[in-house]
Copies of this chain bind each other. A is one copy, B any other.
Amino acid sequence: MLPEVVLAEGKTAQQAVAAGCAILERAGCLLVTRASEEIAQALEAAIPDLRRHPPSTALSVDRRPPRTPRSGVVIASGGTSDLAVVEEAAATCALMGHEVERIVDVGVAGIHRVLAETEALRKANVIVVVAGMDGALPSVVAGLTAAPVIAVPTSNGYGAAFEGLAPLLTMLNACATGVSVVNIDNGFGAGYIAALINEQAWSGPPDPTAG
């Protein structure tokens, strides 16, 4: 569905460009995540139509024939600091052919702002919830809808947030059903899974005669 993705962190600019160009050549599209500014510029020099997705550090390019994006994915988050992860997830969904509705600036401390989005949440086939600090938003969202929720803890916060450990544990212990969790700050992973699930809602029931 999506070709191999380039995780830029831990690579030199040269390695990232080499890997990225090879994949783009082969697949007609490319997603790079966790790129430093230096790597981003090296990639842009090599691939002029590469697109950034600020404030995330993801970059993507798609040279394949256009296709109507499929609706059904919602990404919700609580604060400005989580937007980098939101956009990494959204870029991933977009490259996989899915349109994302963003519901940002909703947090459990202002529960009425979450509730005001209930209808939008209930229409989703799958919801990605990005949250740092107390990581409580996925429980609330999952309690409001019947769609599967992919929770992404972020490393925002300080002190006893322990670089994302606190929201990670919160989400693994979510009181509401339907919540599964990906790695801290892993917007790509959450977007990928959301796209997989949404794809199924669009693909219709399995053909019993297939095999």
| Chain A stretch 181-210: residues in CB contact (< 8 A) with chain B | 181-186, 188-190, 192-193, 196-197, 200-206, 210
Interface string of A31-43 (1 = CB under 8 A from B): 0001000000000
Contacts of A156 in B (CB 8 A): 9-10
Contacts of A180 in B (CB 8 A): 150, 180-182, 189-190, 193
Q: How far is the CA of A164 from the CA of B160 in the complex (A)?
A: 8
Instruction: Classify the interface of chain A: helix, strand, loop or mixed.
Output: mixed
Given A123-B210, A146-B196, A150-B180, 7 other A-B contacts at CB below 8 A? Answer: A111-B140, A134-B173, A161-B173, A165-B169, A166-B170, A177-B192, A180-B181
Q: A: which residues have CB within 8 A of B? A: 1-2, 5, 7, 9-12, 15, 19, 34, 55, 71-72, 78, 80-81, 107-111, 114-115, 119, 123, 125-126, 133-136, 139-140, 142-144, 146-148, 150, 153, 155-186, 188-190, 192-193, 196-197, 200-206, 210-211
